Structure 1
Amino acid sequence: MGDHLDLLLGMVLMTSPVFGISPCWFDGRMAIYHFCNLTQVPQVVSTTERLLLSFNYIRTLNTSSFPFLEKLQLLELGTQYTRLTIDREAFRNLPNLRVLDLGGSQIDFLHPDAFQGLSHLLELRLFSCGLSDIVLKDGYFRNLKSLTRLDLSINQISSLYLHPSFQELNFLKSIDFSLNEIHTLCESELTPLQGKTLSFFSLAKNKLYKTSSGDWGKCMNPFRNMVLETLDVSGNGWTVDTTGNFSNAISGSQIFSLNLAHHVMGSGFGFNNIKDPDQNTFAGLARSSVIHLDLSHGFIFSLNSLLFGTLKDLKVLNLAHNKINKITDQAFYGLDNLQILNMSYNLLGELYNSNFHGLTKVAYIDLQKNHIGIIQDQTFTSLRKLNTLDLRDNALKTLNFIPSISTIFLGSNKLVTLPKINLRATFISLSENRLENMDDLYFLLQVPHLQVLILNQNRLSSCNHRPTSAKNLSIEQLFLGENMLQLAWETELCWDVFKGLSHLQILYLNNNHLNFLPPGIFSDLTALRGLSLNSNRLTVLSSDDLPSNLEILDVSRNQLLVPNPDLFVSLSALDITHNGFICVCELSPFINWLNQTNITLFGSPADMVCTYPDSFSGISLSSISTEGCDEEEVLKSLAFSLFILFTVAVTLFLTAVLMVIKLRGFCFICYKTAQRLVFKDHPQETEADTYKYDAYLCFSSKDFEWVQNALLKHLDAQYSDKNRFNLCFEERDFVPGENHIANIQDAVLRSRKIVCLVSRHFLRDGWCLEAFSYAQGRCLSDLNNALIMVVLGSLSQYQLMKHQSIRGFVQKQQYLRWPEDLQDVGWFLNKLCQQIVKKGKKKKKDNNIQLQTIATIS
């Protein structure tokens, strides 16, 4: 029944919109008319080989329903949405039909001659058609000389009295009567099948012998003189007594595979009113040559002594999904040829040395999904032929019981460390345990002839300093995913763990929190072809990180922001999805490589998106343009732009310099005008001052006319209301008749600043030199810079240095020189005003020094 479901699903998928095919479609060889609301068979061309008409409303099939289709081999009429009537010789125009599928269609009327003319029919599917015993009793299948498979499951058949025409079906191999209403089965019912060899005969889920104990002596053996490769009587809910009676009834019939799954044999856990099978339960099968026995999905609690003692030919025994908690001594005695034993999904807690005695040829034992916590040391040592032991999903904490076998499954246990025992295996699985120390990995890598080692989902994170691992020339696949190798490697230990593994071909290091790869970690892996580094925290890969012969690389789900495409050119397949790409010009070589490479890229373009900058966040790399990121073009454009910018800047600078040199006076006037306009409404407050004069102008009387025109008219407030300085000079402010020295001293002390206008006349005037000395004395006493020296004319440094008082000032202080160019006078006067209003220091009675603020001039 599974085959027709697979075919039906395949056809539905083929006609779905995903494949771009209309549900009503034909191409000359195949015609698909699913869900087309048909009420009769459509006209198709004579070359049609497959005609699919399921999911329609076809009511009647008769001799005129089909045109002559000589090449038609498959006809599917299942699951009609109305009851179906099939008249006599309805399919006679289909002489070469091989498969006829009517499954799922409720047949309201089926003529006994409906299938006549189908001499080449191989498979007839009549599952779930609402058929009764009549189809078996009245010869509906006569003349189907080539029929090999007949599916009558999920119908309303209650009796298996077969029409004598079944004797003519010489090629019949498979009959499915599962999910019907058959309660009893006797030898007389299946007489037409005697002498035949059937590959499959199913009576599953019929409640067979469920409601009646059955007259076993009267019914006798229903399978007499038959050879059944597989007999399926599962799901009938048989007890120990029913199973024993059935075994005795079919004694002598050759049944190679017997399926008794989904039974109710056994006391289960905590019940004593239902028996477990014993040595008499299967005794009737002694001469049946049973090779495969399925007793899964039941309630067997205890495997009793000599339970299978008569099954000398048994090679496969399935006891999975029971409640087995106890294996008595000699439970497996007699199973001299058993090769496969499946006891998974039971309730075993301990295994003892004697549990598997008698299994001299067993090669595979499946004990996964039990609760095994303790196993005696010699439990498996006597099993000389054992090569595969599956102990996954148990509670083991030690491995002292492990024999030298080729394949060991120990995943999902509670192993914390490994004892240093003598292991010899080609395949070891220790995934989902609690191993922490990498010493265990070093130990396992030294197991002779080991080819596959699985250590996924452990806790490998610590490392003791130890010598380099011995060479292992056999291991080919190593699985270390979902550990914590980062914690071990960041201590700079165990970087030699892969040394000597020159035959390793597959290596998994996924989910290890790696943010770096130790230098030369893969240097010895010369045969490595596949490497998984996915789901780590790697931000960069270098050419030295990857083996030279690598073909398949998985670096998905890392943090490779700007990967270098040169690393991947030798690969044949790459998965680099789900990395946080930064979409800047540095990524353009990688984007160009993605668009041009012939390497197989796993994942879709939607899994390779930008995360930065924000304007590109979530955009696929395939949609990013690299135009403008060409380095040569960018450099040419940048060089030209810089040349233009530099030329313009130099031109503007030279122009500005020339303008300042030639028109500096005009520029200064403009500057002062703008300053007055900006600050005219925001005059600065003048601080309180104890000085009578802003400045004392000390100059030779012979220079008065020049001083008056050059300075006083522009600075002194009595010369113009626009001027704000209160200046003191001898011709106006000295008291007549007063001692001249006293006038000089008074002027020096009562003025904030002393401006000495040093000219040739000044140097010859003794009173001027005396005033200069007094001013210097005040500077020394008050510790300020009250003295301002302005040199007039072309006096040289040598001429100034000839006078002792002036020489000391010139050596320690800066002085001003009157400009030679008239356009610089305005600038000079502004500079002088700034010196006059500059805050000075005055000595207090307590010898403290305080800054005084003078308001600036307009």
Structure 2
Amino acid sequence: MSRKDFDHTFLIIMAAFYVNGGLLPVIFFILIQNGNGEECTKIRNNPHYSCLGRNLTYIPTSIPSSVEKLDFSFNWLPSLQKHLFPPLYDLQVLDLTRCQIQFIADDAFHNVKNVTTLILTGNPISYTSPDGLNSLHKLKRLVLADTGLLSLNVQLNNLTKLQELNVGTNMIQTIALPRFMINFKDFCVLDLHANKISSLKVDHTAVLREMKGNITLKLSSNPILHIEPGAFKDIYLKELNIQSTFVSFDAMRDGLKGLGGLHVGKLLIGSYKAIRKIKIPDADYLAGLCRIHFTEIFYRQKMSSPSNGHIVHCMVNATKITLKTGYMKDMEHVPFHQLKELYIGHQYLSAIPNVSHVHSLEKLVVVDNQAPTFHGLCGMPKLQHVDLSRNHMVIRECCSEYFRNTPNVRHLNLSLNANIWFSAKPFYGLELIEELDFHHTNLDIIGQIGILHDLKYLKYLDLSYTRTTFSSYLSFIGLKSLKILKIAGNIVLRYVLSDLFENLTVLEVLDMSHCGIDQISSKAFRNLQMLSQLLLSQNKLMVLDFLTQPNLQSLTRLAVDQNSISVISLNTLQNIPVNLSVFDISSNPFSCLCTQTDFILWTVKHQKIFPQSNNILCKTQSSDSKMRVIDFDIEGCVHMRRLTIALCVFAVTFLVFVSLLIYKFQFYLCYGYILLRGYRASRQQEWSYDAFVIYSSKDEAWVMDELVENLENGNPPIHLCLHVRDFEAGKAITSNIIDEGIMGSRKVIVVVSKHFIESSWCRFEFEVAQSWQVMERNANIIIIILEEVEEEKSKKVFGLHKHLKNNTYLKWSGNPINNMTFWIRLRKAVITRN
């Protein structure tokens, strides 16, 4: 932001101070501390820009007129005037969350009149002009959550295309809509969650009744005490959410009765979360549900009552029932008329409910219970989806005996149970199964011949972590439709692996992670022409020769992380599948030697296909060393070869070259002598300072105002050595650097900036510090990047570029929030003793 713009903003803020009191000085202080006017970020090409949290007081002109989505949240726009927005006629979504908006003038959105979604969450709007929003003729979604609204009488009369109005978390006390909303023909969502609505009366719903639309009404987290009988009679809603709404169970019991006559597609009741088990003395607290006409119900309540197993007796006409998080131990026998889906989760069932009498049921999900017994399901011709996972069950003679006369089951999930033993023909009568999931359940004989061969339509099979040993190459015979196979965490015998997948010709995903595999035959995947994902993580592979086979050309993702691979051969790299877009080779002990330059160069060239390139590390003798493969100094290898040739060819000129070096670097030789003398003397010398600061005199203001202020005046205080104040007068500068600075301090702090790069004394001090580090064998150099320096310029300082690549450094951002972490890390680095 220019100085002129800043002064203008300052005057606006100071004027607002006199109007609004003490809040604005705090915000003004934050603006000053965090900077003002950072540029926005393009998230995608033109359609989406983000200006989130940039402390902007204006809309940047750099945003193109073709932008379709603009996130301007957490900025500073106290007043929306007509010309605040530049012409952005393609803008569809505008997010102004928490921009401290207090005033909206007439035609404030004139230049963004085609917006369909406007988000004003968290703005303390005190006044909106009569035509403040009415230029948004195409607006479909308006969010006014947490804006201090007291009622629904908002100036929206011209927004006839509005479909969703979110006024949650306000102070609204009634659901009475303004009469002009009867003309909103497409209106479908009214979100009033977390307001102050305590009573619902007949006259409150008059407009809602006249709209006769397929509306979703959200009243969750309101303190409702009373619902007048008839308030919702003959009202048709798509969805009604009254979760965590009633102030007591008495209010809930009476309130559900007050909803009598309501017609709703989906009804959500109960509470969002449960803190403890609640005892309800009234066994009929849900009786009011019998007066409501609904097709789907979602009920969540962690409580118990005398009739805990009878909570579904008023749900007899529902087509979908979801019961989550409760203390139900059994479920009553209810003659459901048209129930298609039943979900029971996180209860205390002693047995899986016997719903065999519900012939209309298509989907049954009973999960997260405490080892209930299962007596089976039978005579359910429409049942297609069965999920009994996470119940810790023990099942014997699975599975056909438990699913008699259920021929249309397509999905069967018995994962995360205790133990399952199979019968002789476990899937007899279940031949249409397409998805079968047993992961993390102990199985027997699943890896032997003939267990799965009847499942010719099976597409998805998960046997991960089932303690299975695949001892027969016919384990998957007959599964000609299988596309996804997961057998991670099991044992695959080496002699079986070469022929195990021979019949799986349409397989697309294969997961064999954590199977102890140390070798894969080149013909193991010979028939898997369609294989696109191969997961071999956490095995013991040393080579990837199988990748050279032409049958794997469809492979797009390969994971061989956490194996024992030290190098990938040039032949494998040259024949790798051309469609491979994700190649995870992280956490392998790669050998970084000059003899492996082909692999290293290939890795550098193809970095985009590695999802975890930072974890592709070189194996070193030190467990603490973490040099990335892509950072290996290949140029050093090239220079070494050239040097060897040069030494052989130009042996005679070598002496001349050495003489020139001695002449050219005689200063450094003298410095080395001084350094060695200082090193010997240091054996009897104790440290006088905690850290010696190397910096350019042009950066002295930052050093004194920030570094010295935060370290020396902190707790505990850190004693710094600064050349401007601590060097001994009359003593040679080089001696001061070595005696007072390097040898007299435990650590060295280097403040890198453009001025630092250009300073010959800074470069000299840094080289001395590096030499001292080598001699002391101590990692005592802490680098602070005060400002960004181009890579080529950083190479002017000997060893700096490589030090930055191989060591962690601190970066000054100027942001107070980030700099709190900066000072903590810096103080810890200085105080820590190596």
CA distance in 2, matches of 1:264, 1:512: 40
Equivalent position of 2:540 in the other structure: 537
Residue of 389, 392, 412 corresponding to 1:392: 389
One of 506, 510, 524 as aligned partner of 1:507 = 510
Work out which of the residue numbers 289, 293, 296 in structure 1 matches 2:297.
293
Q: Measured at CA, do residues 445 and 475 of structure 1 come closer, stay the same or move farther in structure 2, by a change above 3 Å?
A: farther
1:80 equivalent in alignment to 2:103: no
* Number of the residue aligned with 2:208: 193
Give the corresponding residue for 1:132: 150
Q: Provide the rounded CA distance (Å) in 2 between the counterparts of 1:67 and 1:347.
A: 60
Distance 1:641 1:420, change over 3 A: farther
Partner secondary structure for residue 394 of structure 2: coil
Mapped partners of 2:476, 2:61: distance in 1? 75
> Separation in 2 of the partners of 1:451 and 1:53?
46
Shift of 1:383: 2.2
Q: 2:272 and 2:78 mapped to 1: Cα distance?
A: 41
- Residues 397 and 414 in structure 1, CA contact (< 8 A), matched pair in contact too: yes
Question: Which residue in 1 is equivalent to 2:564?
Answer: 559
- Give the corresponding residue for 2:827: none
* 1:362/1:383 contact within 8 Å kept: yes
Please state how far the C-alpha of 1:319 moved relative to its aligned partner: 0.5
The AA in structure 2 aligned to 1:619 is M
**Matching residue within 123, 128, 146 for 2:141:** 123
Aligned AA for 2:155? Y
Q: Shift in Å at residue 610 of structure 1? A: 2.1
Closer, same or farther in 2 for the Cα pair 1:459/1:152, shift >3 Å? Answer: same
Cα deviation digits, residues 704-735 of structure 1 (max 9, x gap): xxxxxxxxxxxxxxxxxxxxxxxxxxxxxxxx
Provide the rounded CA distance (Å) in 2 between the counterparts of 1:358 and 1:240: 32
SS, match of residue 127 in structure 2: strand
**Could you say if the C-alpha distance between residues 69 and 390 of structure 1 is closer, same or farther in structure 2, counting changes exceeding 3 Å?**
closer
Over the residues paired in the alignment, what is the CA RMSD in angstroms?
4.3
Q: 1 CA distance for matches of 2:444 and 2:426?
A: 21
Whether the 8 Å CA contact 2:473–2:499 is kept in 1: the answer is no
1:482 is aligned to: 489
CA distance in 1, matches of 2:220, 2:524: 58
> Residues 341-371 of structure 1: CA distance to partner in whole angstroms, max 9, x if unpaired?
110111112236xx21442222211111112
The answer to whether the 8 A contact 1:503-1:526 is kept is yes
* CA distance, structure 2, for counterparts of residue 233 and residue 586 of structure 1: 69
Is the alpha carbon distance of 1:483 and 1:195 closer, same or farther for their aligned partners in structure 2, counting shifts above 3 Å?
A: same
Distance 2:441 2:209 in 1: 55
Q: Check if 1:106 corresponds to 2:124.
A: yes
Q: Distance in 2 between matches of 1:600 and 1:560?
A: 20
Q: What's 1:429 paired with?
A: 437
1:338 maps to which residue? Answer: 339
- Alignment of 1:182 with 2:182, yes or no, is no
Q: Quick one: percent identity of the two aligned structures? A: 19
May I ask how many residue pairs the two structures share in their alignment? 591
Give the C-alpha shift of residue 305 in structure 1.
5.7
Q: Aligned pair 1:161/2:176, yes or no?
A: yes
> What SS class does the counterpart of residue 449 from structure 1 fall into?
coil
User: How much does 1:470 deviate?
Assistant: 3.9
* Distance verdict in 2 for CA 1:537–1:123, change over 3 Å: same
CA deviation digits over 1:648-682, x for unaligned, max 9? xxxxxxxxxxxxxxxxxxxxxxxxxxxxxxxxxxx
1:242/1:560 CA distance change after superposition, 3 Å: same
Is the 2:192–2:218 Cα contact (8 Å) retained in structure 1?
yes
Partner-residue secondary structure (3-state), 1:188? helix
Q: What's the CA shift string for 1:796-843, capped at 9, x where partnerless? A: xxxxxxxxxxxxxxxxxxxxxxxxxxxxxxxxxxxxxxxxxxxxxxxx
Contact kept? 2:260, 2:288, Cα under 8 Å? no
- The answer as to whether partners of 1:472 and 1:502 remain within 8 angstroms in 2 is no
Q: Deviations over 1:222-275 (max 9, x none)?
A: 34554311111111147776555444444444311111131899xx97946242
1:459 Cα deviation from its structure 2 partner: 1.9
The 1:370/1:613 distance shift into structure 2, 3 A limit, reads closer
Give the counterpart of 1:202 among 214, 218, 235. 218
**Aligned partner letter, 1:205:** S
The structure-2 alpha-carbon separation of the partners of 1:436 and 1:566, relative to structure 1 and needing over 3 Å to count, comes to farther
| 1:153/1:178 contact within 8 Å kept | yes
Q: Give the aligned partner of residue 601 of structure 1.
A: 609
Counterpart of 2:387 in structure 1: which amino acid?
A: D
- Cα separation, 2, equivalents of 1:608 and 1:360: 56
**Partner SS, residue 201 of structure 1:** strand
Q: Aligned runs of 1:715-730 on 2, under 5 Å?
A: none
Q: Is the 8 A contact 2:509 2:531 kept in 1?
A: yes
Contact 2:278-2:302 at 8 Å conserved across structures: no
Report what 2:380 is aligned to.
383
SS at match of 2:126: strand
Unaligned 5+ runs, structure 1: 1-16, 645-858
Gaps of at least 5 residues in structure 2 are 1-33, 652-834
Pairwise CA distance, 1:555: 1.7
Taking structure 1 as the reference length, what is the TM-score of the superposition?
0.60
Quick one: distance in 2 between partners of 1:123 and 1:493?
59
- SS of the residue aligned with 1:327? coil
- Please list, as runs of the form range in 1=range in 2, the aligned pairs for 1:11-410 lying within 5 A after superposition: 22-23=39-40, 34-35=52-53, 37=55, 47=65, 53-61=72-80, 74-81=93-100, 84-87=102-105, 90-91=108-109, 95-111=113-129, 114-133=132-151, 135-136=152-153, 140-196=155-211, 197-209=213-225, 214=226, 219-224=228-233, 226-237=235-246, 242-243=251-252, 245-262=254-271, 271=279, 273-275=281-283, 280-285=287-292, 288=293, 290-299=294-303, 304=309, 307-308=312-313, 311-312=316-317, 314-328=318-332, 330-331=333-334, 333-334=335-336, 336-351=337-352, 355-376=354-375, 379-398=376-395, 399-400=398-399, 401-403=401-403, 405-410=409-414
Deviation, 1:53, is: 4.7
d(CA) in 1 for partners of 2:64 and 2:475? 75
Distance 2:410 2:148 in 1: 52
Cα distance change, pair 131–607 in 1 and its aligned pair in 2 (3 A): same
How big is the shift at 1:46? 11
1:572-651 matches, cutoff 5 A: 572-573=579-580, 574-595=583-604, 601-611=609-619, 618-624=626-632
- Structure 2 matches for 1:752-791, cutoff 5 A? none
**Distance across 2 between alignment mates of 1:205 and 1:118:** 30
Q: Is the 8 A contact 1:23 1:35 kept in 2?
A: no
Q: How far apart, CA to CA, are the structure 2 residues paired with 1:39 and 1:627?
A: 49
User: How much has 1:161 moved relative to structure 2?
Assistant: 3.3
Is the Cα contact below 8 Å between 2:470 and 2:496 reproduced in 1?
Answer: no
Q: Is the 8 A contact 1:195 1:225 kept in 2?
A: no
Cα distance in 2 between the residues matched to 1:538 and 1:306: 55
Select the structure of larger CA radius of gyration. 1
Over 3 Å counting, the alpha-carbon distance change for 1:293 and 1:565 in structure 2 is farther
Report the CA distance shift for 1:629/1:615 in structure 2 as closer, same or farther (over 3 A): farther
Task: Please say if residues 277 and 300 of structure 1, whose CA atoms lie closer than 8 Å, have aligned partners that are also in contact.
Answer: no
TM-score normalised over the length of structure 2: 0.62
Asked if the contact 1:244/1:284 (under 8 Å) is kept, the reply is no
Aligned partners of 1:46 and 1:71 also within 8 Å: no
- How far does the alpha carbon of each residue in 1:187-245 deviate from its partner, in whole angstroms, 9 at most, with x for none? 21121232320432111110223xxxx3x6xx343345543111111111477765554
Q: Is 1:411–1:432's contact at 8 Å kept on the other side of the alignment? A: yes
For 2:190, what is the secondary structure of its paired residue? strand
CA 256–338 in structure 1, closer or farther in 2 if over 3 Å, else same: same
